[in-house]
Amino acid sequence: MTSLSSSLYTAASFLCFAIIPKHVKVGLTLIPKAIEAIPATEEFTLAKAIIPATWHFVNGYLVTLGLLNYRWARSGGPTSTAEQWMVGANALAGALVGVRYYKAGLNIGLLVLWLAPSLSIAAGLL
């Protein structure tokens, strides 16, 4: 693996870890306020219950992606088909979710949704 590939995986890893404090802060400040604004009716009970859990679950997802990219920076990239599928699944999910973030003007999220997966793909192609 080239040092450029290793650097790209490392950058992707850094982006995953760097966004976590911001993601936690939003989850502890804005998400509860948004949930309070949702009517307390039976129709929205499930959504109100799972939104915070889902938001915080993404922090675990970011740690996992950060660790995988860090591992790939040290090991030479994804070596198994499963790992290659992980890169692809992350890129696809990031592309789809990123469109909504882009439309909402949440551009900082695009660092993890679009840039980090792009760096991983580019590193794998080198």
pLDDT digits (tens, 9 = 90+) for 55-114: 999 999 999 999 999 999 999 999 999 999 999 999 999 999 999 999 999 999 999 999
Residues 6+ apart with CB under 8 A from 126: 1, 2, 4, 5, 8
Average pLDDT over residues 109-123: 96
| pLDDT number for residue 87 | 95
Q: pTM for this one?
A: 0.89
The domain limits of the chain are: 4-125
The phi and psi torsions of 56 (rounded to 5 degrees) equal -75, -25
